[in-house]
Chains A and B, each alone.
Chain A
Amino acid sequence: MWAYIFLILPLFFFIAIRFAPTLFAMSVSLFRWDILSANKPWLGLKNYETLFADPVFWNSLTNTLLYVAFSVPAQLVIGLAFALLLQAVAHWKGFFRALYFIPFVTSTVAISWVWRWMYEPTFGPLNKLLALVGLPEQKYLASPDQALPSIVIVLVWQALGFYVIIFLAGLEAIPTDFYEAAKIDGARSWDVFRHITLPLLNPTIVFLTVIGTITAIQVFTQVLNMSFQGMGGPLNSTKSLVLFIYQQAFKSFKMGYASAGTVVLFALILVITVIQLKVTTRRVEY
């Protein structure tokens, strides 16, 4: 049968490169697996015990949840606001849409360094701007309190265009009859937004929430490139779970320990996916 012949290579790929490594990662997490040493003793669940007793792990996990908690709502609210604004104008719509989308297509490494230079406390333009309007200068990435929110701003800035595009597509899919009916009934714009736009936009909101959450849980490139020597500082205040895993695996070569971290990450994402499936099965009918 042709179907099987066509599927041989794809199946081999998904088994060998996706499925088997998943199981392998789980088993590696049960060993002390140092790539430089031939001796790889069995540890059972010891890596997990060490992990859950490691304050740096908890710190990274907390930071990761903070990235999610800050960036996802901001992206949703600002993205929807700009999509609504774009929908309300007659001219220049394509121009603005393209403008907002530029950061999304550019290299994350490049824009991380650009923002690092924007945030530079002494010579960066942001503090120059603050000084110009008479506000106190800030330390941004150099301050343990401000570094994480500063990175969140970059996350939101880069992803905004994507949210706007998806929200616009969602808004355009809402039949205009609803708005006309509401108009006849004399509804105010806030009521229309609250009772027509938002409920009908629900699938889009769910989709973007899930995508945004999974993306933010895996934040790495921005943190590595925007913290001094890629350490997730100052004082681990920006270190994300993936950066923690990366350092354990590829700087300290503790592959087993790092694998235990990836299993925790997997569990987190799995929980979110299950919640997504629960929510999206409640379909909204147009």
Chain B
Amino acid sequence: MTTLKRVQFQTTPRWFSQAVIYFVLLVGGIAMVTPFIWMIATSLKPAAEVFLGKFLPDAPTLDNYLTVFRKVPFARWYLNSVIVASLVTLSVAFFDSLTGFVLAKYEFPGKNLIFVFILSTLMVPTEMLIIPWFILSNSLNWVDTYWGIMFPGVMTAFGAFLMKQFMEGLPSELLDAARIDGVSEFGLFWRIALPLVKPALAALCIFTFLGNWNAFLWPVIITERMDMRTVPVGLAFFSGEAGSAWELIMAGASMATIPVLIVFLFFQRQIIKGIALTGLKG
């Protein structure tokens, strides 16, 4: 039985093929992290060292970070990004799961029509909508407001579809039993259904937060004032104007990247599991 279980097709010795595989994986890994090391290394170099051609700094300093903070309102950009990404994520988590719950667990006339309608909006690329969104925002004075940055993303068809898939897996008997016990319709969603789809919900939240934290196309259009920019938009403008001050650009890039990296390292298992889960279902 054990001989059948072993799945191995190589004719070369096993240790050799394993060594080759680890070597290739290591080379790939180095290719993945080298740009980040180069980014941080440059950000720690005094301006005089940047063009010396060494990979690592001789006299590392945090001056470049202080200079960036002095030149541009980076702290404000952080705050903007945190506010926008958090509020959008909360909104998406709530409304997408509510929509998914209704479409999965209620029977009513027009249900299929509504589902197909919501799903069909997925086919329209964001780029097609930004011009109408901008004309709308312009006439309603939403330019340079948090609501202006957020409104296109407060619900997503993808999330509603994803949550519907997972809500369908909940036993209807459970909901009926709770109904008999006097739980309100909203309570069924909030207290019974939602806690049972937590893994999918967490994945959706991670996706949404990352997507909004890193979003560029819409925020760059809807923000004109310096202090309303999000981190990516602020970084793009700052870098474009910094000329060849690469040590400052890399300090800015590090500040945009490192918080996300830290969060990722803490939650990488859940994040990766979530991506695999939603990627395959979606």
Chain A hits for B136, CB < 8 A: 21
A: number of interface residues (CB 8 Å): 97
- In B30-44, which residues have CB < 8 Å from any A CB? 31-36, 38-39, 42
Question: Is B214's CB within 8 Å of the partner chain A?
Answer: yes
Q: Residues of B within 8 Å of A, CB-based: how many?
A: 97
Q: Is the CB of B213 within 8 A of A89?
A: no
The CA-CA distance from A162 to B282 in the complex, in Å, is 14
A130 within 8 A of B: no
Q: Which stretch of A49-57, A114-122, A135-143 is in the interface?
A: A114-122
Residues of B within 8 A of A180 (CB): 4-5, 7
Pairwise interchain contact B279-A165, C-beta atoms closer than 8 A = yes
A266 at the interface (CB under 8 A from B): yes
A230 touches B240 (CB 8 A): yes
Distance A98 CA – B264 CA, assembled complex (angstroms): 9
**Contact residues of A with B, CB < 8 Å?**
1-4, 6-7, 9-11, 13-14, 17-22, 24-25, 28, 35, 82, 85-86, 88-89, 92, 94, 96-103, 105-111, 113-115, 117-118, 120, 123, 125, 128, 157, 160-162, 165-166, 168-170, 173, 176, 179-180, 183-184, 187-189, 192, 204, 207, 214, 217-218, 220-221, 224-225, 229-230, 242, 245-246, 249-250, 255, 258-259, 262-263, 265-266, 269-270, 273
Binding site for A on B (CB under 8 A): 4-10, 17-18, 21-22, 24-25, 28-29, 31-36, 38-39, 42, 50-51, 53, 55, 95, 98-99, 101-102, 106, 108, 111, 114, 117-118, 121, 123-136, 138, 151-152, 154-155, 157, 160, 185-186, 189, 210, 213-214, 216-217, 221, 231-233, 235-236, 239-240, 246, 249-250, 252-254, 256-257, 260-261, 264-265, 268-269, 271-272, 275-276, 279-280
- In the complex, besides A14-B155, A114-B39, A266-B125, 8 extra interface pairs with C-beta distance below 8 angstroms are A107-B231, A117-B249, A123-B53, A125-B55, A184-B4, A242-B217, A250-B134, A262-B128
